[in-house]
């Protein structure tokens, strides 16, 4: 190819493994994973707030690692295991993170929630009993404008307990104040 040649505009055919399913997509090579998920696979649970890596709303798991889909080229993750929010519940049964995000209102508008829950899921996979500071650090790449993060921390802590098989009732402080 000569250096001056126009960029290739033709679509490429790719195969993605999303939430355990194989999906074939013909897409333009310059598209990001965010665009392919939302616009070609209709998986609109993955959100976007900046498309520049500055907010975390577009977080998905690639081979279990939380990354930003707005800065990931779709081509780069063909063949990888991609997990989005749509894959988090198991046959209609909510994942404990989803359950507690719902229970406590850790999801207010819910726009940031998929990013937070996927980042939290990756954290809990590595560290089943994180301290609050560890949760803060792990979630420091996700912005939420609604909750002030307080309920999010509580939800992650309760989900961690549930996953560890421990009792996990929300505290009265959390739901009613002191």
Ligand X SMILES: Cc1cc2nc3c(=O)[nH]c(=O)nc-3n(C[C@H](O)[C@H](O)[C@H](O)COP(=O)(O)OP(=O)(O)OC[C@H]3O[C@@H](n4cnc5c(N)ncnc54)[C@H](O)[C@@H]3O)c2cc1C
Q: Measured from the CB of residue 89, what is the shortest distance to ligand X in angstroms?
A: 30
User: What CA–CA distances, in Å, run from 97 to 6, 29, 103, 125, 136?
Assistant: 47, 34, 10, 12, 16
Q: Are 14 and 40 in contact (CB under 8 A)?
A: no
* Out of 33, 35, 56, 98, the residue judged to bind ligand FES by CB under 6 A: 56
d(CA 10, CA 133): 47
Q: Are 77 and 16 in contact (CB under 8 A)?
A: yes
Count of residues that interact with other proteins, criterion CB under 8 A:
90
Q: Which stretch binds ligand FES (CB under 6 A): 12-20, 72-80, 109-117, 155-163?
A: 109-117
* 63-82 footprint of other proteins as x/- string (CB under 8 A): --xxxx--xxx-xx------
Count of residues that interact with ligand X, criterion CB under 6 A:
2
User: Does residue 55 touch ligand FES according to CB under 6 A?
Assistant: yes
- Write out the binding residues for ligand X, residues 49-88 only, by CB under 6 A: 53-54
* 65-104 footprint of ligand FES as x/- string (CB under 6 A): ---x-x----------------------------------
Nearer to ligand X, 50 or 89 (CB): 50
User: Shortest CA distance to 59 belongs to which of 126, 109, 119?
Assistant: 119
User: What CA–CA distances, in Å, run from 157 to 22, 127, 140?
Assistant: 33, 11, 16
d(CA 114, CA 57): 7
Nearer to ligand FES, 29 or 141 (CB): 141
Q: Which stretch binds ligand FES (CB under 6 A): 22-30, 44-52, 73-81, 96-104?
A: 44-52
How does DSSP classify residue 32? B
* Out of 25, 33, 43, 124, the residue judged to bind other proteins by CB under 8 A: 43
Distance of CA 41 to the CA centre of its chain: 16
Using CB under 6 A, list all residues that contact ligand X. Answer: 53-54
């Amino acid at each position: 190819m000569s250096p001056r040649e126009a960029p290739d505009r033709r679509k490429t055919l790719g195969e993605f493994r999303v939430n355990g399913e194989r999906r074939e997509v013909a897409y333009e090579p310059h598209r990001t994973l965010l665009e392919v998920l939302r616009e070609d696979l209709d998986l609109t649970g993955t959100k976007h707030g900046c498309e520049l890596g500055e907010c975390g709303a577009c977080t998905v798991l690639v081979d279990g690692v939380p990354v930003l889909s707005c800065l990931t080229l779709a081509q780069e993750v063909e063949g990888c295991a991609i997990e989005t929010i749509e894959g988090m519940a198991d046959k209609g049964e909510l994942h404990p993170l989803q359950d507690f995000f719902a229970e406590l209102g850790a999801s207010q508008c819910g726009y940031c929630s998929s990013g937070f829950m996927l980042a939290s899921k990756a954290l809990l996979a590595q560290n089943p009993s994180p301290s609050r500071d560890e949760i803060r650090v792990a979630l420091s790449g996700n912005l939420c404008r609604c909750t002030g993060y307080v309920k999010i921390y509580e939800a992650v802590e309760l989900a961690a307990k549930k996953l560890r098989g421990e009792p996990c009732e929300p505290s009265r402080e959390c739901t009613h104040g002191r």
